[in-house]
């Protein structure tokens, strides 16, 4: 009996009630459709934003890769310049030592010559 009462209560008794029930269902479906359309628009705008962000990130990655490549080239150029400078420093140090040795020998030679002059006088 209870189940029969439920069945009767769920089913409208006359045509007017049936139309009202259909109208309520239609209103619910319309509201749901609007909500879905809004949700789809939001999701679409998210996807557009994500796509734009992916393009920007891709461009940034490309720019970063180019920048890193340029930095690598600059690094190797600087390393090569340092090597050349280092070899130039070694060469100049060798020249300086050679000049010092010549100067020392010359001084010693002059001292010997001046000592010889003093003793001969």
One-letter-per-residue 3-state SS of the chain: CHHHHHHHHHCCCCHHHHHHHHHHHHHHHHHHHHHHHHHHHHHHHHHHHHHHHHHHHHHHHHHHHHHHHHHHHHHHHHHHHHHHHHHHHHHHHHHHHHHHHHHHHHHHHHHHHHHHHHHHC
pLDDT of 118:
62
User: Per-residue pLDDT for 1 more than 50?
Assistant: no
List the structure tokens of 70: 């340029």
Specify if 67 maps to a domain: yes
Specify if 28 maps to a domain: yes
Specify if 116 maps to a domain: no
pLDDT tens per residue, range 13-35:
788 899 899 999 999 999 999 99
Domains identified in the chain, total number: 1
- Residue range of the domain that includes 17: 2-92
Specify if 103 maps to a domain: no
What value does the mean pLDDT take over residues 32-52? Answer: 96
Specify if 48 maps to a domain: yes
Specify if 109 maps to a domain: no
Specify if 99 maps to a domain: no
What pLDDT band is residue 121 in, cutting at 50, 70 and 90?
A: low
| Tally of CB atoms within 10 A around 80 | 10
Specify if 110 maps to a domain: no
């Amino acid at each position: 009996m209870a189940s029969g009462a439920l069945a009767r209560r769920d089913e409208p008794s006359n045509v007017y009630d049936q139309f009202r029930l259909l109208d309520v269902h239609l209103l619910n479906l319309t509201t749901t459709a609007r909500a879905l359309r809004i949700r789809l628009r939001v999701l679409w705008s998210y996807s557009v934003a994500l796509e734009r962000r992916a393009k920007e990130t891709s461009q940034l990655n490309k720019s970063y890769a180019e920048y890193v490549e340029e930095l690598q080239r600059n690094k190797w150029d600087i390393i090569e310049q340092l090597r050349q400078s280092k070899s130039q420093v070694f060469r100049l140090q060798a020249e300086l030592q050679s000049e010092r040795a010549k100067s020392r020998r010359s001084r010693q030679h002059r001292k010997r010559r001046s000592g010889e002059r003093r003793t001969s006088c």
